[in-house]
Amino acid sequence: MSYLSRARAAAPEPEHTLVCSGFSEGFAVLCRTLRDRGVERIAIEDPGWLSHRLIAERAGLEAAPAAVDDQGLVVPELWDSGCEVALTTPAHQFPTGAVLSSRRRAALLEWAEERDGLIVEDDCAWTVTRWARFRGSSPSGWPPSAR
């Protein structure tokens, strides 16, 4: 817990933390859980990592393509997707390498709040993106300036 707080600026509670063998396993568990709770669609970055879509679809979710540009996930388009869950790779978009801009982070948090939505962060490359402006921080730890 202290590592996650120190390295990722997250504030996890033990009862809200699940240790998995990697992102794929954690994401698969999450997708199945969401499906069991009635979620039908998830916005997945396009272009993105093929496994994101495959894992979501295997769990029974429809993967809705979410556009990406040089600022990362194009958040305004999430509103049109009708999704309440969105997967993003904010520190290092896969495969473009874009870093989700401050404005987009603010928009993403606003989307999640207003939509009562869920942001799924795949930050597999954060250890090699320490130069990024929001290095190391997970969405729950994004600074007020991102709002």
Return residues touching ligand PLP (CB under 6 A).
22-24, 49, 89, 94, 122, 124
Q: How far apart are CA 44 and CA 54, in angstroms?
A: 10
Q: Which is nearer to ligand PLP, 24 or 96 (CB)?
A: 24
Q: Which is nearer to ligand PLP, 25 or 113 (CB)?
A: 25
Min CB(13)–ligand PLP separation in Å: 23
Q: How far apart are CA 85 and CA 90, in angstroms?
A: 15
Min CB(46)–ligand PLP separation in Å: 13
Q: Which is nearer to ligand PLP, 14 or 22 (CB)?
A: 22
Q: Which is nearer to ligand PLP, 84 or 123 (CB)?
A: 123
Min CB(94)–ligand PLP separation in Å: 4
| Upper half-sphere CA count for residue 18 (Cβ side, 13 Å) | 11
Min CB(141)–ligand PLP separation in Å: 19
Helix (H, G, I), strand (E, B) or coil at 64: strand
Rounded to 5°, angle at Cα 65 from 109 and 95? 85
Strands of the sheet containing 41-46, edge to edge, are 72-73, 62-69, 41-46, 85-88, 118-121
Rounded to 5°, angle at Cα 18 from 15 and 24? 160
Cβ-closest residue to ligand PLP?
A: 22
Min CB(126)–ligand PLP separation in Å: 11
Q: Which is nearer to ligand PLP, 28 or 106 (CB)?
A: 28
